[in-house]
């Protein structure tokens, strides 16, 4: 009897009437409409949308009429609503999306002749993105299947399956199975290899393992082994890689493919050991042996640079210099600037400052701004080491004056004790021209799918004539993440790229814990780009990207309970943690930031290894690539905030 009562109450709570009641309780009519739409209550969804439209201006009517079409998508009024939209909004950017909705409708209802006409029209009418072209290919595949032209259908569908396995995977896989079982179409060996490679590259490891077949290719066997290593079958995966690296496998029939597989396995084993080994030079020697024994290995430039870096980190500079020179001699694409930098820094660390200047000066001619600044700064440092202060200060001044914003200009300004005057910006004025667009963003803040749709809608309305007004209104509304992204698409003032978001919370916690507010702003910008909902692939959360374990530990110390996606809680914990790191590392900014990203214990290890170095020299020697870049980026932003109050 008790079980029956429980089931009865569950059925009441989950009934359509109760679901609709929850929708009615939503005060915002647009969100209520979305709720009703998800419950398939078309009448209520339309009524709520109509009420929202009554309180809105014409500038977003096309979007609201688009939402109406979405609601009517599976009704007999769908075509009529599309026709009305075309008349009311003939220039709307949403017409392409609506045409694709129309295509889906025609395909579902087997209107084959009209479907083909619509597909042809859309291809001629619009500038199509890669995703658009993929959709066209999918619906053409379905069209050919419906008219029983199975060869053409299979050819298109298998292209999607092997190149874009995440696109409509459920439908594509079902259609492939149907074409196989009813019409005897099968994927070739090459098709299977391409699909498995695409699955691996898109991180679909479970599907990869389910579909894996033996003897397809050695490279796929290597990928299978790497998945096993990640999925706690480490010994099995490493054993397979070891066997391949030693040539213990059935030949593919191609010597070049066999050698490529052996080199790849050796490289992958070294990469696995990289995080565990304390002898970087030993690993570098093994990497060098790959260069020697497998000269045609496709990843040799990557292998060579890693070997050179490991030698450098181990202070085995002369061995590193040999590999850097090899990379330059072989004109290794993407590694020329890095190799000149490696050569310069290796000579610098050995006290060969005149030789180092030659390499650093060559970087000033790089087509990459970062290396231009790096080359200029370290050229100046070499002059300082040679006691030529005039040339050093000339170089520092030029770097600070010309580039103004950047990690190396920041260091240069410190060396010459010069505050850089960054062009002042006018106060942000909220014009309210696009208040309805901004209101849509604010409403959808906690509704991920709707938010993404609205962001795309607004971004497509922004152009070179109105972006300043949009940026002003976005900043005024606290939409800093979107504002920063848009500012990089146009020639926007740096003021929009470096906002002071969540100012009241930052200032409060700055005073509470005695942490420079400019450092907090800089860290938030680089950690999350002011996205309070940011979630990294390793699980770091919120504005200051705090891990659950760290958050729990800090909560216990403060005797509070925090929600990491809540800006107030996140900034409180992040600033408190910065205070702790400041005390531990005597307010040394480089150490604090390296510890925030790479861990305080690692910073202790690195400082012990690289004793007696200046802070700038220490940062260049940080062995973690991510932490090395992180410290530089945060200090660049800190420099901007500090000089642009």
User: What is the distance in angstroms between the CA of the first residue and the CA of the last residue of the chain?
Assistant: 70
Q: Which of 222, 223, 225, 296 is nearest to 259 (CA)?
A: 296
Q: Measuring CA to CA, how many Å separate 446 from each of 97, 335, 528, 533, 547?
A: 23, 43, 17, 9, 21
Distance of CA 417 to CAs 78, 370, 391, 409, 447, Å?
68, 22, 16, 12, 48
Cα-to-chain-centroid distance, residue 155: 33
**What is the 3-class SS of 71-105, one letter each residue?**
HCCCCCCHHHHHHHHHHHCCCCCCHHHHHHHHHHH
DSSP 8-state symbol, 424:
P
Give the span between the Cα atoms of 271 and 305, in whole angstroms.
Answer: 13
Show Cβ contacts of residue 60 under 8 Å, excluding neighbours closer than 6 positions. Answer: 436, 437, 440
Sequence-distant (6+) residues with CB within 8 A of 168 are: 138, 160
Q: Which residues, listed in sequence order, are joined to residue 546 by a DSSP beta bridge?
A: 541
- Say what angle helices 336-349 and 353-363 make with each other, to 10 degrees: 160
Residue 60 burial (C-beta neighbours within 10 Å; 0-12, 13-18, 19+): buried
Paired with 541 in beta bridges are 535, 546
Scan for tokens 């700055």, then name that residue: 510
SS (H, E, C) 142-166: HHHHHCCCHHHHHHHHHHHHHHCCC
User: From the candidates 527, 557, 568, 620, which is the catalytic residue?
Assistant: 527
Residue 527 a catalytic site member: yes
Active-site residue set: 527
């Amino acid at each position: 009897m008790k079980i029956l009562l429980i089931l009865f109450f569950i059925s009441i709570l989950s009934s359509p009437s109760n679901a609709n009641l929850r929708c009615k309780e939503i005060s915002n009519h647009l969100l209520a409409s979305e709720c009703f739409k998800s419950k398939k209550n078309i009448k209520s969804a339309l009524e709520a949308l109509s009420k929202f439209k009554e309180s809105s201006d014409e500038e977003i009517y096309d979007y609201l009429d688009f939402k109406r079409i979405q609601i009517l998508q599976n009704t007999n009024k769908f075509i009529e609503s599309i026709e009305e939209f075309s008349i009311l909004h003939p220039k709307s950017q949403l017409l392409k999306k609506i045409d694709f909705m129309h295509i889906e409708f025609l395909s579902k209802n087997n209107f084959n002749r009209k479907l083909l006409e619509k597909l042809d029209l859309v291809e001629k009418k619009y500038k199509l993105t890669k995703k658009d072209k993929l959709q066209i290919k999918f619906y053409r595949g379905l069209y050919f299947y419906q008219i029983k032209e199975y060869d053409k259908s299979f050819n298109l569908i298998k292209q999607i399956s092997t190149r874009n396995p995440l696109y409509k995977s459920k439908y594509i896989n079902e259609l492939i199975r149907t074409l196989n079982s009813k019409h005897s179409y099968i994927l070739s060996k090459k098709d299977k290899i391409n699909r498995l490679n695409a699955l691996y590259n898109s991180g679909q490891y479970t599907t990869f393992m389910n579909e894996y077949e033996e003897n397809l290719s050695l490279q796929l066997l290597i990928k299978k082994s790497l998945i096993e290593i990640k999925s706690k079958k480490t010994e099995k995966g490493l054993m397979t890689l070891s066997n391949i690296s030693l040539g213990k496998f059935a030949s593919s029939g191609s010597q070049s493919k066999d050698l490529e597989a052996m080199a790849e396995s050796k490289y992958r084993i070294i990469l696995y050991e990289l995080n565990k080994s304390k002898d970087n030079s030993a690993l570098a020697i093994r990497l060098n042996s790959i260069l020697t024994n497998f000269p045609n290995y496709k990843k040799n430039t990557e292998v060579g640079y890693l070997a050179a870096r490991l030698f450098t980190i181990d202070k085995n500079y002369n061995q590193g210099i040999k590999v850097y020179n090899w990379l330059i001699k072989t004109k290794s694409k993407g590694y020329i600037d890095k190799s000149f930098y490696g050569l310069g820094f290796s000579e610098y660390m050995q006290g060969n400052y005149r030789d180092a200047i030659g390499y650093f000066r060559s970087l000033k001619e790089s087509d990459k701004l970062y290396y231009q600044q790096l080359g200029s700064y370290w050229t100046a440092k070499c002059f300082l080491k040679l006691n030529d202060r005039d040339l050093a200060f000339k170089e520092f001044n030029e770097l600070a004056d010309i580039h103004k914003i950047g990690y190396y200009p920041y260091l240069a300004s410190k060396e010459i004790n010069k505050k850089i005057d960054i062009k002042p910006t006018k106060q942000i004025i909220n014009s309210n021209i696009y208040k309805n667009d901004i209101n849509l963003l604010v409403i959808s803040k906690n509704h991920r799918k709707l938010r993404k749709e609205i962001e795309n809608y607004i971004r497509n309305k922004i152009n070179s004539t109105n972006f300043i007004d949009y940026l002003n209104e976005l900043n005024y509304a606290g939409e800093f993440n979107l504002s920063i992204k848009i500012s990089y698409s146009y020639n926007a003032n740096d003021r929009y790229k470096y906002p002071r978001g969540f100012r009241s919370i930052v200032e409060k916690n700055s005073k509470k814990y005695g942490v420079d507010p400019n450092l907090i702003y800089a860290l938030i910008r680089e950690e999350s780009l002011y996205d309070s909902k940011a979630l990294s692939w390793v699980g770091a959360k919120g504005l200051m990207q705090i891990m659950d374990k760290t958050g729990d530990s800090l909560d216990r110390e403060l005797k509070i309970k925090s929600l990491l996606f809540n800006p107030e809680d996140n900034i409180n914990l992040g600033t408190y943690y910065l205070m702790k790191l400041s005390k531990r590392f005597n307010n040394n900014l480089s150490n604090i930031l390296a510890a925030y990203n790479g861990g305080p214990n690692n910073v202790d290890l690195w400082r012990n290894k690289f004793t007696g170095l200046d802070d700038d020299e220490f940062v260049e020697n940080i062995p973690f690539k991510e932490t090395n870049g992180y410290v530089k980026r945060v200090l660049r932003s800190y420099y901007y905030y500090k000089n642009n109050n």
